[in-house]
A = this chain, B = another copy of it.
Amino acid sequence: MHDHYPSRQQPEARFLPRLDPVVFGDCPAAPPNNRPPIDRALVSKFETEGFLILEDLFRAAEVRLLQDGARKLLADPGALAPETLVTEPGADEIRSIFAIHRQSALMERLAADSRLAGLAHYLLGGDVYIHQSRLNYKPGFRGREFYWHSDFETWHVEDGMPRMRALSMSVLLAENRAANGPLMLIPGSHRRFLSCVGTTPENHYRMSLRKQEYGVPDEDSLAELAHRHGITVATGKPGTVVVFDCNIMHGSAGNISPFPRSNAFFVYNSVDNRLQAPFGPEKPRPPFVAERHDQTPVEPVTGQLTAG
């Protein structure tokens, strides 16, 4: 398959044109009479900036339910598939649990919630499946930073995602404050593809889930992006949802505050954009990190989240 977004192949970084729309909802490929589930102004904002911060998308009772669910998952790691657990470098503390939509009925329901899946369906112009899901927990006092990256760069090179037709939704389960290492995004950075230098070592994923060291954007390009577009710090209360394009440059600083940060995180990919052979390493990453076997479309479920 032709590689439209080559990366980690050249000694120098390059900006390449984005060949794909950001919003597929109005494209010829979209289903007829496709109606946006959010204001058109927000759709435009997503197209221009590459992300949306949607406050109060979930109600207080729903947030409590999700927080309880998250606590239970973190408290009983023995009940989970061991390969889906990622710990802090140099510590036993759990940083992420992958494949939560397969390991928790509540998280499966959340992934299918129309507020998330319905929006993904619209923005990506048709049926979507879960490419990746996880529960992220950034502890207080010693939460590590996550350096700048485009998710798509990794998903393309390491997982074989051919085109940009995916997006992420982060459901905040703790308050994201300026003080506790919140998500930072460079608005507008999704409109070009920044290739990274170097090559990908085999079995890199085990390391990269902990601390990004390869496939890292170069400083000159990051400085250009940040000076041109600025940096937005995504703060918000629990129940806020941050929706972001697969190619937006983002990262987060460490968290020395006593306030932990956690979120439930879902990546929706168009069924027309299923994974191919990776565009870098020979061996793709395992399905709990990048789904390549089960592209069952998510059927959006309306109504509030309830217990049981």
Residues of A within 8 A of B (CB): 140-141, 145, 147-148, 177-179, 181, 184, 219, 222-223, 226-227, 231, 233, 235, 251-259
User: Judging by beta carbons under 8 Å apart, are A141 and B222 in contact?
Assistant: yes
The closest CB in chain B to the CB of A180 belongs to B231
User: Judging by beta carbons under 8 Å apart, are B223 and A140 in contact?
Assistant: yes
User: Judging by beta carbons under 8 Å apart, are A254 and B257 in contact?
Assistant: no
Find chain B residues with CB under 8 A from A252 CB.
Answer: 256
User: Judging by beta carbons under 8 Å apart, are B226 and A259 in contact?
Assistant: yes
Report Cα–Cα, A259/B219, bound state, in Å: 11
User: Within the complex, what minimum Cβ distance (angstroms) separates A273 from chain B?
Assistant: 29
Report Cα–Cα, A289/B256, bound state, in Å: 25
Report Cα–Cα, A235/B25, bound state, in Å: 39
User: Judging by beta carbons under 8 Å apart, are B226 and A145 in contact?
Assistant: no
The closest CB in chain B to the CB of A184 belongs to B179
User: Judging by beta carbons under 8 Å apart, are A257 and B179 in contact?
Assistant: no
User: Within the complex, what minimum Cβ distance (angstroms) separates A246 from chain B?
Assistant: 20
Find chain B residues with CB under 8 A from A257 CB.
Answer: 184, 226, 231
Report Cα–Cα, A177/B233, bound state, in Å: 10
Find chain B residues with CB under 8 A from A226 CB.
Answer: 257-259
Report Cα–Cα, A253/B145, bound state, in Å: 9
Report Cα–Cα, A45/B253, bound state, in Å: 30
Find chain B residues with CB under 8 A from A219 CB.
Answer: 140-141, 258
The closest CB in chain B to the CB of A219 belongs to B141
The closest CB in chain B to the CB of A233 belongs to B178
